[in-house]
Chain A
Amino acid sequence: MNHIIIGAGPAGVIAAETLRRLDSDDSIIVIGDEDETPYSRMALPYLLAENIGEDGTHLRHGADHYAAHGIRVLKGRVTAVDTGAKNVTLEGGDALSYDKLLIATGSHASRPPIAGMDLPGIENCWTLADARRIAERAKPGAKVVLMGAGFIGCIVLEALAARNVELTVIEMADRMLARMMDDAGAEMIRRWCEQKGVRVLIGTRVESIDNGEVGLRINIGGGEPVAADLVVCATGVAPNVGFLEGSGINTDLGVIVDDHLQSNVADVYAAGDVAQGPDFSTGQSEIHAIQPTASEHARIAAANMAGRSNRFDGSLSMNVLNTLGLITSSFGLWDGIENGERATVLDKKHFKYLRLEFDGDILVGALAIGLTQHVGVLRGLIQTRVKLGHWKRELLRDPHQAMSAYLGRTQGDTSPLVGATRAA
């Protein structure tokens, strides 16, 4: 059996390893188009903050990891997929045939259609090569403008601040983190950033960028232009599906996959940021573009490629973020449901916030700021659909009882409990 995996990010690598574990003889080829050892984009901010070196971004450690697992990592760019002949064409013309194909091509950073966005000194923060260029310009004291204060923008914000640059954040929407935080939480994060010396302009549109007297000049709506030595663009990402045009593989925003991570074409699967698959909370087809989803997709797609039949319940949308030391997380339907119930505790002074959303006596979503202990249990409560019973009343009174509620509902019986290793 020949497995071809397009994409050498987390989804591609985890799928390859899962395939190898399930079958020792199959041929497994991972095709990546960057000239790097497979690495994690998520680790780039920590590289920029100089907490780690480039090898610290690698997905796997040990020079012979892939060879030792019989996984061939091939540098190349796939330009077309022929699902009839079952092969992929590489840039340069070579074709490779497959029995099972996994599309794990991830996404690319997109830039808004603004005049001047192609000037030197404007970078995305998406690839290792981007990070190297940013590091060259983001020297202590340099004027840096960060465009976009979404999830990726806020992670990059933390890394840039660690480089002691003079930072201005410009966000078009009327709040930071529009997709993972409500108004109250976003306002708290903005206030925190400003207290830490970062200038944050929300509800502000960049109209054009041109060369100023020194460096770049960022022209904004309703205000004085902002000068910068470096502009980092974090305004969004888009799935890499362009090469699938004409292949017969259905795409919407990403590759549409079913609850087995298979596309509309037999033997063609997709995983990770490029896959538009079932969402645990809504049942709708969504792209989550988060590490846990990439990992779950990859393992389930690989199992199905290896001939098992593994059904996917859907991935839970969740995120965790450190903004200059303020830790924020979001889970599931954090904005609630129609006729649902809500419990909140907001402590503006101490930058703490917790919001829980219920459907009947089941937790369906949560937001947290300033919470680092047992935060994962919010996922546990949501994804096990634990009926909270009388614990719901407790949580409405004090949302911080989430861990106790989980224990009370799942381990409340009197029998002894074993918590640890099962014999392998």
Chain B
Amino acid sequence: MQKALLINPEKCTSCLQCELACSFEHEGVFNPAKSRIKVFEFEHGRRAIPYTCTQCDEAWCLHACPVEAITISPNTGAKEVNDNTCVGCKVCTIACPFGTVNYNADSGKVAKCDLCGGDPQCAEACPTGAITYVDANWTGYERMLESAVRAHPAA
């Protein structure tokens, strides 16, 4: 059974611990601007939604990569960017309809959630349980995908 990030926005207080943990894990600095998970605030901060890659089955990023720099981890199922292969062409950043692959001008590569190899630091850092790492067989996931990818073609 593979696991997935379960996000419950109702519990999010917008404390940004997830962004800090993500940025530290991947970039070695506490800088929310470098985080691969992002908290979006609504209604003047009364509501917040943490958001990152859904590791979607369609894998738009992976299919759009011209040099096979994005592959699926056999352990976690995450779509991972191999920095040694990525040429920084950014096609995946426009191909991902969820907007969760971003270009990092400092590295000249793209960055996305890789589930931290199976120990996602955002979930670890979340003090309220808004982000948890659970068995992926969760009905809410289907609902979310349905709303998000309906119009996209997939072979």
Contact = CB atoms under 8 A, between A and B. Distances in A.
A416 B51 contact: no
B144 A380 contact: no
Nearest to B63: A295
Contacts of A299: 63, 154-155
B15 interface: no
A18 B149 CA distance: 21
B98 interface: yes
B115 A421 contact: yes
Interface in A253-298: 290-292, 295-296
A329 interface: yes
A320 B92 CA distance: 9
Given A40-B66, A51-B87, A407-B49, A417 B140 contact: yes
A282 to B, nearest CB: 16
A403 B115 CA distance: 21
Nearest to A14: B63
B40 A416 contact: no
Given A18-B155, A58-B67, A51 B108 contact: yes
A42 interface: yes
A407 B40 contact: yes
Contact of B67 (A56, A325, A404): A56
A60 interface: yes
A310 B95 CA distance: 20
A331 interface: yes
A325 B137 CA distance: 42
- Cβ-closest 10 pairs across A and B: A377-B99, A299-B155, A420-B4, A380-B97, A374-B99, A418-B141, A421-B77, A376-B96, A40-B66, A420-B5
Given A376-B92, A407-B49, 17 more contacts: A40-B66, A46-B88, A292-B95, A299-B63, A299-B154, A302-B155, A372-B93, A372-B102, A373-B99, A374-B100, A374-B102, A375-B93, A376-B96, A377-B98, A378-B94, A414-B10, A418-B7
Interface of B: 1-10, 38, 40, 42, 49, 51-55, 57, 60, 63-64, 66-68, 76-78, 85, 87-105, 108, 113, 115, 133-138, 140-141, 143-144, 147-155
